[in-house]
Amino acid sequence: MFRTLTTFALATLIATPSIACQRTGMDELFYGYISSGERSYSEPVPIALPDVQYTNEQGEQKSLSDGIGKPMIVTLWHPRCPGCKVDLPALNTFLESPDIDEEQFVQISVEQLHQGQRNYTQDDVQGYLDSKKYSKIDGNIDIGNKLFKANCMVATPTHLMINSEGNVTDVLFGAFPWPDSPFADDIRKYLASN
């Protein structure tokens, strides 16, 4: 469903520190997108979502498993990521649509984009969102980049497509035209399908 936009997305990537993949199978799922914009294998095998905690806007520890029961899209991003500066405004506009259930979307900023760069705090993330007037983007943060590392991510923005059983079924990376068809239609179908 999302294969046609992969080439567009690759152009917006920004690399993060090299990290060893901690999840069996996740490296194949993620890296399956890197061959001429098509998967190098037929269909992905869903990978169980790791139960890693993140900090929400109120400073509370939350888990992505809290949302199991309906499909979700989790976006990992960072305020200094060039691709995120394209992706977040489009995502914010999409989330303003009256037919979209915001509970099916979680946005989490990674704490550090590059090794040696200062760590971003909850206040930094919220300040960035407020300055851009992104009223629909969550100010969550992945302290220590635990979720990012556990899911073998290497770039932001990254979008984890999670089915109602809590399995990662697709990984999209780069900026996407969220409010535009046919992408918006595909997202709506995905969220309604599980």
For residue 68, the domain's CATH number is: 3.40.30.10
> What does the pLDDT read at residue 43?
53
Q: Report pLDDT for 187.
A: 92
pLDDT tens readout for residues 100-144: 999 999 999 998 766 667 788 889 999 999 999 999 999 999 988
Asked if 123 and 83 touch (Cβ cutoff 8 Å), the reply is no
What are the tens digits of pLDDT across the range 147-189?
A: 877 777 778 898 989 999 988 888 888 899 999 988 899 999 9
What integer pLDDT is reported at residue 138 of this predicted model? Answer: 93
CA distances from 124 to 5, 134, 155, 192 (A): 31, 14, 20, 34
Domain range for 146 is: 3-193
- In sequence order, the 6+-apart residues with CB closer than 8 A to the CB of 121 are 141
Q: What tokens were used for 106? A: 């979680």
Question: Three-state DSSP class for 151?
Answer: coil
This prediction has a pTM of 0.79
The predicted structure's pLDDT at residue 44: 57
Name the domain count of the chain. Answer: 1
- Per-residue pLDDT tens for 19-54? 334 444 444 444 333 333 444 444 556 788 777 889
Measured CA to CA, the distance from residue 181 to residue 156 in angstroms comes to 23
Two tokens, residue 112: 């550090």
